[in-house]
Amino acid sequence: MTSSRSRLQRSHVLRTAVMVGLLLLTMATVASAQSEVTPEQKIKVAYLYNFIRYVQWPDSTFLDKEAPFVIGILDDDPHSQLLERIAKRKLARGRTIVVRRFTDVNQIRDCHLVFLSDSTKPNEVADVITRTEQQHSLLVCDIVATPNKDAPIQFYYDQDGTIGLKINIAAMERRDLKADAKLLNVASVVRG
């Protein structure tokens, strides 16, 4: 019992260390944001940037080798400004990043990554899950959005109050997406 608990504590420490390392790589860019941005928003945006670095999409998802990564987000989402700042300064896997803002969830299409904030209604989340699955889009849902087993990645609050990740491997596979081991090491993995 003690050995199992010790192993779990070491695993949590390792997971936290890897997560902090990944986030520090991006935080310098996000830190230049205005003071109205919360630390939680900065962390989530850092994660979103790292998702496009540590998830593999099928080659057929891109028109050519110069095609950008497209991130879809709702226009009124406060994370959109931070994402646009990163898009202006960073590349992901040698590709530029484009942030596409939508005024309504029904408009979301043709994106490699879609982020739905906690203000998105459960029926809207379900609709976006269905539409983006056929487009090989990585859908990321925020903490308060209704948990949905078909969302590939969801933010949540860990027991210690930090932001954690749940990655649904089956949902990723249905979209022909593959998460790098570095990403899986900092997440709670759900299979199914």
Total Cβ atoms within 10 A of residue 153: 25
The residues, ordered by sequence, that sit 6+ positions from 47 with a Cβ below 8 Å of its Cβ are 23, 140, 155, 163, 165
Query: Measured between alpha carbons, how far is 83 from 98 in angstroms, rounded to an integer?
Result: 9
What's residue 114's pLDDT?
96
Instruction: Give yes or no for a contact between 136 and 58, defined as CB atoms under 8 angstroms apart.
Output: yes
What's residue 133's pLDDT?
87
pLDDT in tens, 82-95: 999 999 999 999 99
In the structure, what pLDDT confidence band is assigned to residue 131 with cuts at 50, 70 and 90?
confident
Least confident of 7-21, 60-74, 86-100: 7-21
pLDDT in tens, 11-49: 544 454 445 444 444 444 444 444 488 999 999 999 999
What's residue 83's pLDDT?
94
Whole-model pTM? 0.79
CATH 3.10.450 at 2-190, yes or no: no
